[in-house]
Structure 1
Amino acid sequence: MIRPFALSQPAYLRVVRTSAWYDLVVTAGFATPWTYALVHDALSTLGDALGLGALPALDPIEILYANLMGSVVVVWALLRIINPLPVHGLYDGLARTLFSAWQAYALGHGAPRWLWLFLVAETAFGVVQLVPWWRARRTDLMDSTAGRPLGGAGR
């Protein structure tokens, strides 16, 4: 069994909170139809100016999906900012793994190349939040296979 309290160190919780701030800043503009139109135009203009690709014209279903994603991510970010817990880092890391997979899929199917910037950030935050869980799990498995009580002696 993984000991979540081992991941309660201030440094890990700072990573959880920092990833939440990143999410809030990046996705707040996706949460409403009006702000998404502004974000869409800005990303499209920037991508076009840099030669990285523009977005297709807005349509009601795209706006709906952007708003749903933005709303959920904003609420999830606020939870992690206000009350970061180690398990939030685990679930956020898993969610970022999914987001990264879908971003890579989109890039492989012709999405604008500026999406790489978001893919790198998603992957980095995912790794930074999941590796401590993997290490804690590995340590617990090594402790249990060594015949010691889970968590080792003196803990």
Structure 2
Amino acid sequence: MSRPLTPARPAYLRVVRASAWYDLAVTAGFATPWTYTLVHHALSSLGEHLGLGPLPAPDTWQTLFANLMGSVVTVWAALRILRALPLHGLLDGIARVLFSSWMAYALAHGAPRILWPFLTLEIAWGVVQLLPWLRTGHAGPVDHHAGPVGAAGR
């Protein structure tokens, strides 16, 4: 019988790192204006090819916010890859709830449907990282090195 995933288990840290690798793969291209141009073109072409619609033409404002998001998420992913902690999983799960909310809002207001696969994965990573915290009933104070304060073996 397999033991449930909990924030204090090493398996949870593997999930935190895996979500970080996903983030790095998906968002690193957004981090600079030059790479964003390439990613924008690829996503727009893919959306047209799949019948999900092209992206709106990029402008300076959109590029700035894409670069800000790409830069912050890339650094956040690097932290989780290099030094994954249970707290990082909790915070990343919360961030994914926020990202998912804004993606759903954008889709409800006419964003290209190419956003759906990203929303689906965002929700999945959020659930995988938050569910162990909800199962333990402990999302309070956290020992940044091990997990919930008072966790077994502490």
TM-score over 0.5 for the alignment? yes
Q: Does 1:21 align with 2:21?
A: yes
CA-atom RMSD in angstroms: 2.3
Structure 1 residue ranges without an equivalent (≥5)? 1-5, 141-149
2:146 is aligned to: none
Shift of residue 7, structure 1, vs aligned partner? 1.8
Superimposed CA distance per residue, residues 52-110 of structure 1 (whole angstroms, 9 cap, x where no aligned partner):
01011110000000000000000000000000000000000000000000000011011
**Given residue 53 of structure 1, which amino acid in structure 2 is its aligned partner?**
G
> What SS does the aligned partner of 2:137 have?
helix
Question: How many Å separate the matches in 2 of 1:58 and 1:26?
Answer: 18
1:101 is aligned to: 101
1:59 is aligned to: 59
Question: How many Å separate the matches in 1 of 2:10 and 2:31?
Answer: 30
Structure 2 residue ranges without an equivalent (≥5)? 1-5, 141-148
1:3 is aligned to: none
Question: How many Å separate the matches in 2 of 1:153 and 1:84?
Answer: 19
8 Å Cα contact 2:89-2:129 kept in structure 1: yes
Question: How many Å separate the matches in 1 of 2:38 and 2:30?
Answer: 9
> What SS does the aligned partner of 1:134 have?
helix
Question: How many Å separate the matches in 1 of 2:118 and 2:131?
Answer: 20
TM-score (norm 1): 0.85
**Given residue 77 of structure 1, which amino acid in structure 2 is its aligned partner?**
A
Shift of residue 8, structure 1, vs aligned partner? 2.7
Identity %: 69
**Given residue 104 of structure 1, which amino acid in structure 2 is its aligned partner?**
A
Dislocated runs of 4+, deviation >6 Å: 150-155
Question: How many Å separate the matches in 2 of 1:21 and 1:121?
Answer: 13
> What SS does the aligned partner of 1:7 have?
coil
Question: How many Å separate the matches in 1 of 2:151 and 2:95?
Answer: 31
**Given residue 130 of structure 1, which amino acid in structure 2 is its aligned partner?**
L
Shift of residue 117, structure 1, vs aligned partner? 0.3
Question: How many Å separate the matches in 2 of 1:41 and 1:28?
Answer: 15
TM-score (norm 2): 0.85
1:146 is aligned to: none
8 Å Cα contact 2:8-2:151 kept in structure 1: no
Aligned residue pairs total 141
Question: How many Å separate the matches in 2 of 1:154 and 1:106?
Answer: 45
Question: How many Å separate the matches in 1 of 2:83 and 2:33?
Answer: 28
Bigger radius of gyration among the two: 1
Higher helix share goes to which structure?
1
